[in-house]
């Protein structure tokens, strides 16, 4: 069961290939389905996760089990998604899990590949239901987006307000919007008192001419949206 299917002389090489691809595809679909309950991403991302173990396994089988070439080619295809759109830590981790399982499938170790996928997906879901790694005393990081007119010098205009309400602030993005007539500033912030969020917004509104203001949970991929 845990030996390589490619070492089984009673099965033709063609049948070995199709068995490997079929098991990898079925395991990938189960993996993506389990993961979709806790990872927030698009349907297409989970479709990619579903077929990626089979793709990596097929590539590895085509290069006759050359692990270096297989990982290089498969890794290039797996990570190309994040060149144009940033990925969250969940998405990147899931890609590497499918890569690891794909290598196992490509070497013919079907049981190991299926266990890697399904066991890690179940483990991830189980851990997200627990409060492990959550610390009650840790301040929440938020993403503050403020739209200002182009005529407003934003370098220091918010400094007094930030010192009043925020424990820390870090500029993460400045971009133009509204055909260049406005700027949208993004800050990574920690509130001194979470109950003063509305007071912060009200004071910022007086400074930015009552234009749009957003406060949302900070994530790795939100600061470049």
Q: Tens digit of pLDDT for each residue in 18-77? A: 999 999 999 999 999 998 888 877 888 889 889 989 988 888 887 765 666 656 665 555
Q: H or E segment at 19?
A: helix 13-35
- pLDDT tens readout for residues 176-206: 988 888 999 999 999 988 889 999 999 999 9
Rounded to an integer, what distance in angstroms lies between the CA atom of residue 66 and that of residue 72? Answer: 10
CA distances from 18 to 6, 183, 186, 194 (A): 11, 55, 50, 57
Count of beta carbons in the 10 Å neighbourhood of residue 39: 20
Phi, psi torsion values for 139, nearest 5 degrees = -70, 145
CA distances from 167 to 142, 160, 162, 188, 189 (A): 12, 12, 8, 11, 8
Q: H or E segment at 167?
A: strand 166-177
| CATH number listed for the domain at residues 142-224 | 3.30.70.260
- pLDDT tens readout for residues 109-166: 999 999 999 999 999 888 888 877 766 656 678 999 999 998 888 888 999 999 999 9
Q: How many CA atoms lie within 13 A of 149 on its CB side?
A: 8
Q: What is the pTM of this model?
A: 0.60
DSSP code of residue 180: T
- Per-residue pLDDT band for 82 (boundaries 50, 70, 90) equals low
Residue limits of CATH 3.30.70.260 in the chain: 142-224
- Per-residue pLDDT band for 3 (boundaries 50, 70, 90) equals confident
Six token digits for residue 107: 């070497």
């Amino acid at each position: 069961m845990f030996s390589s299917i490619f070492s089984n002389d009673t099965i033709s090489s063609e049948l070995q290939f199709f068995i490997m691809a079929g098991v990898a595809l079925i395991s990938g679909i189960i993996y993506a389905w389990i993961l979709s309950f806790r990872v927030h991403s698009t349907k297409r991302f989970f479709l990619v996760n579903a077929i990626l173990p089979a793709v990596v396994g097929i590539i590895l089988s085509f290069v006759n089990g050359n692990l270096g070439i297989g990982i290089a080619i498969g890794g290039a295809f797996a990570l190309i998604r994040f060149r144009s759109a940033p990925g969250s830590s969940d998405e990147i981790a899931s890609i590497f899990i499918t890569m690891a399982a794909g290598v196992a499938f490509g070497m013919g170790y079907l049981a190991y590949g299926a266990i890697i996928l399904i066991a890690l997906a179940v483990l991830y879901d189980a851990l997200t239901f627990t409060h492990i790694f959550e610390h009650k005393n840790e301040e929440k990081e938020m993403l503050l987006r403020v739209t200002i007119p182009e005529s407003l010098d934003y370098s220091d205009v918010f400094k007094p307000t930030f010192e009043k309400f925020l424990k820390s602030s870090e500029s993460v993005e400045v971009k133009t919007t509204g055909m260049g007539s406005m700027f949208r500033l993004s800050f990574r912030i920690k509130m001194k008192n979470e109950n003063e969020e509305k007071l912060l917004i009200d004071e910022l509104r007086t400074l930015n001419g009552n234009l749009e203001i957003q406060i949302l949970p900070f994530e790795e991929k939100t600061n470049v949206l």
